[in-house]
Structure 1
Amino acid sequence: MTVRFFHTSDWHLGQFFYNHSRHYEHEQFLTWLLEQIKVKQPHALLIAGDIFDVINPSSQAQKQLYQFLADAHEIAPHMQTLMIAGNHDSGYRIEQVEPLLEKYNAKTVGVIRWNDDRTLDLERLILPIYDEHKQIVAWCIAMPFLRSAEITGFNEHTTESQSAIAYLHQQLIAEAKRRKTDDQALILMSHAHMQGGETSDSERPIIIGNEEALSTTLFDDVIDYVALGHLHKPQKVQHPHIRYSGSPIPLSFSEINYKHQVVEVTIDPAKDQNKFEFEAIAIPRSIQLHKIKGELTEVMQRLKSLANEVIQNIDHREYVDIEYHTATPPQPNLRQQFEDALPKDRYRLVRISRQYLSNENNAEMKKSISLEPPTPEKLFQQIWQKKGYSVDDDVSKDFLSLVAEAQKQLEDDHRN
C-alpha cells in the first residue's frame, strides 16, 4: 500500500528577527502549505520539531498553529498531522492540548515517557498512518528532541546519553518491526543533529552533554524514510532517504541562499527497488533578505542601486544587513548615511557590522611571524586597534598604570 506524506520542520512560529515579527512571513508560508495540501491530499503531514521559536510561545504564535491545523483538517479531513517537539519547544506544553489536536486529526509527541517498571512507554511513540479508507499504510516512530534528564538513569541500558539514545532507537525499531506488515511503510521522525549535517548560524546547539552528533547507524535498514528536524538547510545525510527538510523561511542572514522546501515523499513497500521517491516543493519567499558587504563606497553604491518600489506595510518590507570594511574608526552619523542611501519605504536596516582592515604597515608586520609571547601592552594595542581606535601616549600610559596596579596587587596577595 502506497503512502504519501509531506515532511517539514523548524517552523519557529513566533520568531522575532532583530525585534521584527515574522508573523506575516509565517502566515504566507502556511497559506501556501494549505494550498499544497488541498491539491496533493497527502495521507500525513510530518512536522519534525521546533514548531515554535521559544518554549513559552505567544498566544499569537499558538493561534497561528491551531488555526492552520483547523484549516488543514477542513480541506483534507483524512490527513493526519504528526508533530514532535524540538529543542526550542516545551514538550510538555505541546502535549497539553491533545484534546484540541484530536479534533483536527493531529497528534504530538513532546517527551519520552517511561512505565512504572522502568521500561520505555512505546505506545505513544509509534503512530499509525491511515489512508482514505482507514487502512494502516505506514507506521511512524516519533522521536522528539532527547533531553538527557528524560532518557538517562532508568535502567542498565540508560546509564549515559549515548547508550540511552541507542537503547531508545533499538527498542522502538524492534517494536515497529513487530507491528508492521510487509505492505506497510516504516518512517522515523526525529529532531537531532546528525553527523555530516551542514549547519547555519541560527541553530541552537543541541548535542547532549557535548557528545558527538548522532550517527545514521542508529537507523535500521528496515526504515523506509527518516524525517529529520533541527538543521535549517535542506539536505540528505549520507543516504537519499535520510533527510532534513529544512526551515520554511530563512531564520538568519546565513540562510539567504537556502532553497526552502517541503519534501513530498511517496513510499510503495510492494516494490523491490525504488520503493522511496521524493519531490522537493520549493516554498516561495515572501520577504527578501539582502546582505551587503564591501568597503564603504561600494556599500553605499549597492544600497542606492537596490529596487526602489515602495512597500507600504512596514511588516512586509525587506531586511538589510550591512557589513562594511574599513581601516578607520566609524563616523558618528554612519547609520543615518546608510539609511539615506537606501531607497525610501521599502527596507528595514536590521544590522550593521564592521570588519576592520589593517593598514599597509600592519599587513607587512603580519607577514613576519613572531614567536615571542605577546606582552600585555602589545595585546592591548592589537585589540584597541582592531576596535578602530588609535593608541596614543595618554592611552598607553593609562593602560600601563593599570597593569602596574594589578601587578602590585598580585605581589601583595602572594606575600600575604
Structure 2
Amino acid sequence: MTLRVLHTADWHIGQTLNGWSRTFEHQAFFKQLTELVKAHDVDALVMAGDVFDNQNPSADATRLFYEALAELREVNPQFISVITAGNHDPAGRIEAPGVLFERIGVHALGMVHRHDEALDVDRHLVPLAGKDGRVEAYVLAIPFPRASDLPRVSEEGETEGSVVVRAVRALYEDAVARARERIADAPLIVTGHLHVWGAEESEGAERRILVGGEHAIPHSVFDESLAYVALGHLHKPQKVGRETIRYSGSPFPMSVTEQAYQHGVVLLEVDGDKVTWERLPLERPVPFYRLGKGEGLQLDEVPGALDALGLDEDLPIDQRPFVHVDLKPQVSGAGLRAELDRLLEGYPVRAAGLSVVSKDRSAPEITEAEALVRLHELEPVDLFKTAFEAAHGVAPEASHLELFHRAAAEIE
C-alpha cells in the first residue's frame, strides 16, 4: 500500500514583518495544508524545524500551532505528525505537551535524547503506518543539533571538516546505524535542521547556526541508504547534492529576499522500496510586491508604481499587500524613509521596508578572504559608516555619529 507523507518546515509562527502581524497568513497556510492532506489522502506530516519565530512564542502563536495539529488529526484519525525543533524554537516547550500530543498522533522532538550515553532510538524513531495499519516507513527525527546534542569526537588524526562538522556526522551516523538495527532496510526518512554545503541562502533571512559559528555540513553526512532527507532552516525550496535531500522551504515570504520564491510543500509517496516525490505549490495568502527592484525608483515615481498595482481599497488591514521599495539615493537617509512612509500611507498597503540601490554598481568583487582581512582592519565606526551608507545611500551625519559613539561607550 502506498504511504503518503508531506514534508514542510520553517513556519515561523508568531513572526512579524516590519511590525506587521503574519497571523492571517499562517491561518491561511494551515487551511491550505489541511486541504492538501484531504486532497492527496496524506498519511503523515514531517515538519523539519522552526515551528515558531522565537524562543518565547505568545499564547496566540502556541494556540495556532496546536489547532493546526488537531485539525490534521480530524481529517484522518490515524494521521501522524512528526515535529522537530529548529534553532528558533524553544526545545523544551516543543516537547512539553508530550502526553497530550501522543493522543493525537503527534511526535515532537525538541532535543536529542540519550539513554546511557547512547541515542534513545525509542524516542527518535517514529513508525509511519498506512491505511491498513501496516508500517510502511520510518522517520528518524533529529532536531537542530545544539552543543549539548553533539557527541565528542577526536581533534587529532582527522582531516575532513572541523570538529563540529565531524561531530554532526558522528551524530547522524550513530543515529542511522541504531535505527537500522531496529528496522533493517525498511524505508527511512531522516530530518535535519541545518545548512548543507551548496544550498542557497536567503540573504539576511537565515543565520549560520552550527555550534561555534560553523557554516554548513557536507551532504555526505546523510547515508546513501536513506529514502529521503527532510531539511529545514533554509527558506528557498531546493535539492542539495542528491534528488532525495531537500529543503521544503518556507510557506510564504518571511522577508523581501523570499518575495520571488515559489513556495510549497513536498509530497512523498512510499511504495515498498520505491520512493517518489513531487512539489505541491502553495497559494500566497497576501501579495508581496517589490517596487523598483534592481535599478531603484525616485520618490516621485513611487505613486505611479503603486497605482499600476490596481490595489483593492476595501481589504482588511491584515490582508493588505506588503510592499518593499528599492529607491535610488536621494535626500538624506532619514528623510528618505519618512517620505516613503508618507507616500505609502495613502495606499491600502503595508510597508515591508526599503532598500537604497548602491550608487556604484561597478565596484570590483572581492573574495571572502579579502573581505575578512579588510573587516579586521576597520574600526567599529568605519563599519557603522559603511553599513549606514549601504542602507540609506548617504553618509551618516554628525548626529548619527554622536548616537553611535554614545552607544559604543555604553558597551565598553
Same fold, TM-score > 0.5, yes or no:
yes
- Pair 1:88-2:84 in alignment: no
User: By how many angstroms is 1:225 displaced?
Assistant: 0.6
Aligned counterparts, 1:70-85, within 5 A: 70-85=70-85
SS of residue paired to 1:290 = strand
| Counterpart check, 1:144 vs 2:168 | no
Report the 3-state secondary structure (helix = DSSP H, G, I; strand = E; otherwise coil) of the residue aligned with 1:310.
Answer: coil
Which among 159, 170, 184 is matched to residue 167 of structure 1? 170
Is structure 2 residue 292 aligned with structure 1 residue 290?
no
Distance in 2 of aligned mates of 1:389 and 1:185: 58
Bigger shift: residues 321-330 or 244-253: 321-330
Within 2, Cα distance between the matches of 1:86 and 1:385? 32
Residues 1:124 and 2:123 are matched in the alignment: yes
- 1:175-190 equivalences in 2 (<5 Å): 175-182=178-185, 184-190=186-192
Corresponding residue SS for 2:192: strand
Local SS of the residue matching 1:111: coil
What whole-Å deviation, never above 9, does each CA across 1:85-116 have from its counterpart, x for those lacking one? 0000011111111112112111111101222x
Matches within 5 A, 1:292-307: 292-293=291-292, 294-296=296-298, 297-307=300-310
Aligned to 1:238: 241
| Residues 339 and 86 of structure 1: CA distance in aligned 2, closer, same or farther (over 3 Å) | same
Instruction: Tell me, yes or no, if the aligned pair for 1:140 and 1:188 is still in contact at 8 Å.
Output: yes
Cα pair 1:262 1:281 within 8 Å, conserved: yes
* CA apart distance, 1:214: 1.1
- The within-5 A match list for 1:300-379 is 300-329=303-332, 332=335, 335-336=338-339, 339-340=342-343, 344=347, 346-355=348-357, 357=359
Q: Which moved more, 1:330-339 or 1:68-77?
A: 330-339
Residues in 1 aligned to 2:215 and 2:312: alpha-carbon distance in whole angstroms: 48
Residue 352 of structure 1 aligns with an amino acid whose one-letter code is: L
User: CA offsets per residue over residues 223-242 of structure 1, 9 Å max, x none?
Assistant: 11111111101000011111
Task: Give the equivalent residue in structure 1 for 2:98.
Answer: 98
CA distance, structure 1, for counterparts of residue 75 and residue 232 of structure 2: 26
- Counting matched residue pairs gives 374
> 1:389, CA displacement in angstroms?
6.1
For 1:87, what is the secondary structure of its paired residue? coil
Mapped to 1, the partners of 2:32 and 2:289 lie a distance apart of 23
Of stretches 125-134 and 73-82 in structure 1, the one that deviates more from structure 2 is 125-134
Compute the RMSD of aligned alpha carbons.
3.4
Aligned partner of 1:408 in structure 2 is: none
**Percent identity for Structure 1 against Structure 2:** 32
Q: Which residue of 2 aligns with 1:192?
A: 194
Q: Mind listing any 5+ residue stretches in structure 1 that lack a counterpart? A: 368-372, 400-416
Match of 2:406? none
| SS of residue in 1 equivalent to 2:118 | coil
1:204 Cα deviation (Å)? 2.4
Distance 1:120-1:300 versus aligned 2 partners, 3 A rule: same
Runs of 4+ in structure 1 off by over 6 angstroms are 154-157, 382-385
SS in 1 for 2:272: coil
Structure 2 counterpart SS, 1:143: coil
* Cα pair distance change 1:85/1:334, threshold 3 Å: closer
Instruction: Return the alpha-carbon distance in structure 2 between the equivalents of residues 9 and 126 of structure 1.
Output: 19
Which SS does the other structure have where 2:26 is aligned? helix
- Relative to 1, partners in 2 of residues 1:90 and 1:318: Cα closer, same or farther, differing over 3 Å? same
Instruction: Supply the distance in 2 between the matched residues of 1:13 and 1:383 (Cα, whole angstroms).
Output: 33
TM-score of the superposed pair, with normalisation by structure 1: 0.81
1:328 is displaced (CA, Å) by: 4.4
Matched to 2:130, the amino acid is D
Quote the Cα distance in structure 2 between the aligned partners of 1:46 and 1:23: 22
- Aligned residue for 1:196, secondary structure, equals coil
Distance 1:142 1:178, change over 3 A: same
- Runs (5+) with no aligned partner, structure 2: 157-161, 365-373, 403-412
**Structure 1 counterpart of 2:27, which letter?**
E
Contact 1:185 1:268 in 2 (8 A): no
CA distance in 2, matches of 1:55, 1:27: 21
- Range 261-270 or range 81-90, more displaced: 261-270
Match of 2:268 among 253, 257, 265: 265
User: Per the alignment, do residues 390 and 175 of structure 1 end up closer, same or farther by CA in structure 2, a change over 3 Å counting?
Assistant: closer
- 1:404 — aligned with what? none
In 2 relative to 1, CA 44–332 (structure 1 residues): closer, same or farther, beyond 3 Å? closer
Instruction: Letter of the 2:40 partner, please give it.
Output: K
* Higher alpha-carbon Rg: 1
1:385 is displaced (CA, Å) by 11
Amino acid across the alignment from 2:73 = H
Taking the aligned partners of 1:167 and 1:334, their CA distance within structure 2 comes to: 49
Q: Which amino acid aligns with 2:180?
A: K
